[in-house]
Amino acid sequence: MTRLSVNINKVATLRNARGGNNPDVLQVALDCEAFGAQGITVHPRPDGRHIRYADVYALKPALRTEFNIEGNPSRDFMDLVLAVCPTQVTLVPDEPGQLTSDAGWDTRANLSFLSDVVTECRRKGIRTSIFVGTEPETIEYAARTGADRVELYTEPYAAAYAAGADEAVRPFVEAASLARSLGLGVNAGHDLSLENLAHMHRHIPWLGEVSIGHALICDALYLGLQETVRRYLECLK
């Protein structure tokens, strides 16, 4: 079964716009779980513009489902991950001031660095996932790091979906098949939505997890959070 992990960064963005604790990030995470989501994702950034390190520490003991922490594995980020011990850490090559993730790793150029990070996480029993594009070499070198999974960067799929869904998903099916043949689990994330998620899942039913934040929170403004989570789960049946 493909798990739905709700990225709650945008909830924290709204909270931080006014200060205080409204909306309550922790309560929203617990509500997502209660509504059926099988995981919670956060992506703390160095500038603290949405999820803060304090949120991560507060979430870990309260969550009952899988906890996924995304981010660039700087020393501060890794100290946080190793202290909290989430279910999964997703390694993303973000620059400090980057608006959002917009590319996967060059796993060949960063093989030694990523291998060291994966080893650190394995010692603490943390599952590792490396954020990648669909290039075969990138996936082959991701496997060499010893990581458990890759997360496919799906913005190109979302951008091409309206012009031709089958053509848009093809490179992702090929990449996911290669990853599986190399013993890697496969996750997916970035710009997945109610419009395009079911099509991807039909073509890659062995996805371990999809991580969805921006589109899901936008949908919740109109549909309500419970109905939105239900509809995303329907896309994964």
Give the pLDDT of residue 95.
72
Q: What is the pLDDT of residues 133-190, one digit of tens each?
A: 999 999 999 999 999 999 999 999 999 999 999 999 999 999 999 999 999 999 999 9
The whole domain housing 103 covers 3-235
Confidence of residue 221 (pLDDT cuts 50, 70, 90): very high
Q: What is the pLDDT of residues 45-104, one digit of tens each?
A: 988 899 999 999 999 999 999 999 999 999 999 999 999 999 999 999 977 665 565 678
- In whole angstroms, what is the distance from residue 175 CA to residue 75 CA? 30
Check if 50 is active-site.
Answer: no
Structure tokens at 13: 């963005």
Give the pLDDT of residue 103.
76
The residue assigned the tokens 């395009």 is 196
- In whole angstroms, what is the distance from residue 227 CA to residue 229 CA? 6
- Catalytic residue from among 33, 70, 151, 209: 70
Nearest to 204 by CA among 184, 219, 218: 184
- Report the number of distinct structural domains present in the chain: 1
- In whole angstroms, what is the distance from residue 117 CA to residue 236 CA? 31
What would the mean pLDDT of 1-23 be, rounded to a whole number? 96
Check if 43 is active-site.
Answer: yes
Q: Is the peptide bond before 23 cis (omega within 30 degrees of 0)?
A: yes
Structure tokens at 32: 């997502």
- Catalytic residue from among 33, 43, 66, 201: 43
Give the pLDDT of residue 84.
98
- Catalytic residue from among 33, 190, 201, 209: 190
Check if 190 is active-site.
Answer: yes
Flag whether pLDDT at 217 surpasses 90.
Answer: yes
Return the half-sphere exposure (C-beta side, CA atoms, 13 A cut-off) of residue 125.
5
Looking up residue 179, the CATH number of its domain turns out to be: 3.20.20.70
pTM for the model: 0.95
55 contacts 61 by C-beta, under 8 angstroms: no
What are the DSSP calls for the chain, one per residue? Answer: -PEEEEE-HHHHHHHHHH-TTSS-HHHHHHHHHHTT-SEEEE---TT-SSS-HHHHHHHHHH--SEEEEEE---HHHHHHHHHH--SEEEE----TT-SS------TTTTHHHHHHHHHHHHHTT-EEEEEE-S-HHHHHHHHHTT-SEEEEE-HHHHHHGGG-HHHHHHHHHHHHHHHHHTT-EEEEESS--TTTHHHHHHH-TT--EEEE-HHHHHHHHHH-HHHHHHHHHHHT-
